[in-house]
Amino acid sequence: MSLALSGCQCGVSEELPEEDAGVVDGGRPPRRDAGVDPVDVPDASWPTLYASEPCGEDIFPGADGGQWMKVDGGFRMGICIKLSTLTAEVTLDGQPETKPVITRFTGGGYESELTRAPDQHGNLQVKVMRGRYDILRHQPGGVWPYFEGFIEHGFCDMTKDQDRRFDARSHLVRGAVRFGGLPFVPNAFPQDVWFNAYGSPPWQMSMVTSNGGSYELRMLEGLFGIFISTPATSLYGTELREFSLTPGAAMNLVQDTEFDVDIPTSVLEAEITMDGQPLPDARVGSDYKLRFTKPGETTSSVFSHQEGGVSRVSALVPKATYGVTLDFEGAPNRTYPSSIFGKQIQGGVDLRNDVSLSIDFLTKPIEGGILIDGRPPLPNPAYNFQLFMYSMANSTQTGAYNLYEVPMESASFELKAFPGLYFVALGLDEGLSPNLAGGFYVVDRFFEHYGASTMAINIDTARVNGKISIDGQPPVPGRRVGQFVFRNRALEGQWSWFYASVVPGDDGAFEVRLPRGEYEVFFSIDNETYPTYASGRLQVAARLSLQEDSEFNLDYRTVEVSGPLRVGGETVRDTLGTPEVGLRLQRQQDFQIYEWNFNGGQDTYVLRVPEGSYAVDFVVRENAIDGVAWGNAPMGLKLNMVPTLGEPFMNFVR
């Protein structure tokens, strides 16, 4: 095993020359059969662009350079995180800001923020992990009670302390709110006037409850387009989600402004049935909604909520041309879908004027049944099996998602589905059969259903029996050690995934039952049972053949790294009762993320992680350290814990 430290986060170390046949001064030792020795990074060349710094002899005595040393079975490495201080003078509308301000530091794939109130003079201090941040932002605290939005201040080099000035100006926006000539119905939660604005500043949001058909709120100064969101209770059954109030234009807010919201509407009269019957009235309140999407847009901004049990419905819709689809939320039953998402009603509906339309969704029957190892599942009316059917788009229909939740009164079923070509999957769990792994079993990738159809679901299973050990030691008996994930590698079942928690016996024995196939197997350790271990998904078998019962033994091997841990030169205090800090390790070999947690109140740490090459971010949890922004930042080093050094890090991606 070896430990490599580099100042470059995604390339070859600039400080270390390539190895040669001997030991070059300041360079790498030669390779040996057991790998390479740890690589020294002198203090003088330690990277100063990132969060970590050498711990020093006073914190980590005996370590060359104050950072690491090799010991039997692993490494000792000091984790010392350097903090830099941002001092800001914060004003709002020309006055010192005294309400809590959010300061956010954003880099490439990492971010930290802190909410803190300036003092009575508007002075603010924020400590953050050392690094270079692409964008510094702040959110003023006193704009409006229900306000969010950031002002950007450009690049911020927090490799050293910085002084900044945060100035913000806001203005009053008020006016009337009407929908189809009718005033908004006030609503307190969520508020019925909810403005999202995009432009300069990039985004802001301000909300208020209307009063007598009028509103008043404050927003940051700038040039932006405004979009409104309003619940259905305020618009007579119609919901708006980020509906544009300034299409093709923008508001230039430089002073208090009158801005009336008056959305003209048309009436849609519709008769909607399924096999000649109204959609079921299965829930309290609305059962389905009509979704309206403008041409060229990918998301819907208008929704009409309707109750089932009646076929004729009406809706107030803002004047425009829309494609109209149906979303339905029902209840488990043995015939129709319990949920429908995105079922097309009609495209190109011109609602610049009142419109009437009628549609009857015709279905075709599907008869089928479920057999597991040749036996039907036992009846259990309290259990609902789930069948997922996604209809593929064609020249006349958009794709739609249908979920059947079928009470297990018997293993046979008679369903009704819309004609189409479907991708079909069955949800698996122990409700279908004892000890069955959970997950999704692909029934048919191309199920043609244009007339009466049959669907026989025959699942043959196999058992994986084995023993698991953790670093050569028996696992904690009777507790969850981790989780297996099985991905079917066969072409016909490549979207089948299964998962099973591992709760072994005293000798580490476990058993997993799942459909037969060829599987790629992953394991993630439970870091509540093993708190010193970093948890992430590790491939433990590239191909496991389960055409019959098989034996699979796993010794989950890791490398131990331990040493002192300091943030800002101090021991992390126990302030939360849960982990205060941690590490985020990205493994080069498969780009999987491993999370490791550390409880404060200790001077030293122990970390165990599988062999591999890792880029390491340090993580501070929210409210863990007073005055320190919480989030993650790159430490500027890589852990190279592999038997041989392997390829350089030239192709590494964070």
Give the per-residue pLDDT at 69: 64
Q: How far apart are CA 113 and CA 153, in angstroms?
A: 14
Q: How far apart are CA 7 and CA 649, in angstroms?
A: 12
77-134 pLDDT, tens per residue?
889 999 999 999 999 999 999 999 999 999 999 999 999 999 999 999 999 999 999 9
Q: What's the CA angle centered on 162, arms 97 and 55, to 5 degrees?
A: 125
Using 70 as the pLDDT threshold, list the residues of the chain that sit under it.
Answer: 1-46, 62-71, 73, 395, 643-654
User: In the block, which residue shows the tokens 């959970």?
Assistant: 438
Burial of 70 (C-beta count, 10 Å sphere; 0-12/13-18/19+): middle
* DSSP 3-state of 203: strand
Q: Structural domain boundaries of the chain?
A: 83-168, 170-263, 265-361, 364-459, 461-556
Number of C-beta neighbours around residue 651 at 10 A: 9
Torsion of CA 599, 600, 603, 609, to 10 degrees: 30
Give the pTM: 0.88
Give the per-residue pLDDT at 41: 40
Strand-pairing partners, residue 556, are 470
The CATH code for residues 83-168 is 2.60.40.1120
Give the per-residue pLDDT at 494: 78
Q: Is 213 left (phi over 0), alpha (psi -120 to 50) or beta?
A: left
Q: How far apart are CA 563 and CA 570, in angstroms?
A: 14
| Architecture of the CATH domain 461-556 | Sandwich (2.60)
128, 130, 132: which is closest to 104 by C-alpha?
A: 128
Cβ density class 301-334: b for 16+ within 10 Å, e for less? bbbbbbbbeebebebbbbebebbbbbbbbbeebb
Q: What do you get for the CA distance between the two ends of the chain, in Å? A: 22
Q: What is the CA radius of gyration of the chain?
A: 30
What are the tokens at 503?
């709760």
Give the per-residue pLDDT at 395: 65
Superfamily for domain range 170-263: Carboxypeptidase-like, regulatory domain (2.60.40.1120)
Q: What's the CA angle centered on 63, arms 58 and 64, to 5 degrees?
A: 115
Q: Select the CATH number that applies to the domain covering 364-459 from these four: 2.60.40.1120, 3.30.565.10, 3.20.20.70, 3.40.50.1950.
A: 2.60.40.1120
481, 406, 484, 407: which is closest to 438 by C-alpha?
A: 484
What are the tokens at 472?
């050569």
Q: How far apart are CA 272 and CA 156, in angstroms?
A: 57
User: In the block, which residue shows the tokens 């999407």?
Assistant: 293
Instruction: For residue 256, give the H/E element and its range.
Output: none
What are the tokens at 584?
């985020």
Amino acid letter, 457: I
Amino acid letter, 437: A
**Quick one: DSSP state of residue 626?**
T
What are the tokens at 457?
């679901």
- Bridge-based pairing of strands 461-470 and 550-551 is parallel
- Bridge-based pairing of strands 604-609 and 559-567 is antiparallel
Per CATH, 265-361 and 364-459 having the same topology is answered yes
470, 589, 538, 563: which is closest to 38 by C-alpha?
A: 563
By the 8 A CB rule, do 381 and 359 touch? no
Q: How far apart are CA 499 and CA 504, in angstroms?
A: 15
Give the per-residue pLDDT at 67: 64
The CATH code for residues 265-361 is 2.60.40.10
Where would I find the H helices in 486-537?
none
125, 75, 116, 73: which is closest to 98 by C-alpha?
A: 116
